[in-house]
Amino acid sequence: MIPPLLMFGRVQSVGGMPRILVIKHGALGDFIQALGPMQAIREFHRGAYIALLTTEPFADLGRDCGLFDEVRIDERAPLHRLGAWLTLAVWLKRGRFDRVYDLQTSRRTAWYFFLLRALHPFACPEWSGVAPLCSHPHANGARDSMHTVERQAEQLRMAGIAQVNAPDLSFLTTDL
């Protein structure tokens, strides 16, 4: 449990519909393995508006899986490209997300937590991941030695999502 002084409240939902952000950049195998957790997030947040922040190679996969209302491409710009960071900051602020599931759990995405916290100093969205001071930390010191599937399932359990099943990949059909 985060001490009350470290909690910053929640961003208000838009129109009463919860707004959820999932962050997953990739590689292909990692993205496919994250589909089970993504499906669990969609199931847990039925009726919510859910956006995915991912990289260009996985944007179509994110759209085709049918789990997201919006797919946003993260350029993963270097710090010196301030325009790209400003564009991301504006999108994050306008997103008014209630909760973020950081399935990437990288240093970069921890920066996104601090960026959102700076944009919403008294109403920071709930955050599931490894960013210091986040509301729903994946607090397992051995997380880096876990398999990706087990690690993400445990992360979601710590955020209140009890069940993560193997992904339904039936949408992955194509003519060869």
- 85-119 pLDDT per residue, tens: 999 999 999 999 999 999 999 999 999 999 989 88
The confidence band for 176, taking pLDDT boundaries of 50, 70 and 90, is: low
Edge-first strand order for the sheet with 126-129 is 70-73, 49-54, 19-23, 99-102, 126-129, 136-137
pLDDT at 1: 36
pTM above 0.85, yes or no: yes
Query: 68 burial class (0-12, 13-18, 19+ CB within 10 angstroms)?
Result: buried
Instruction: List the one residue out of 10, 36, 12, 14 whose CA is nearest residue 24.
Output: 36
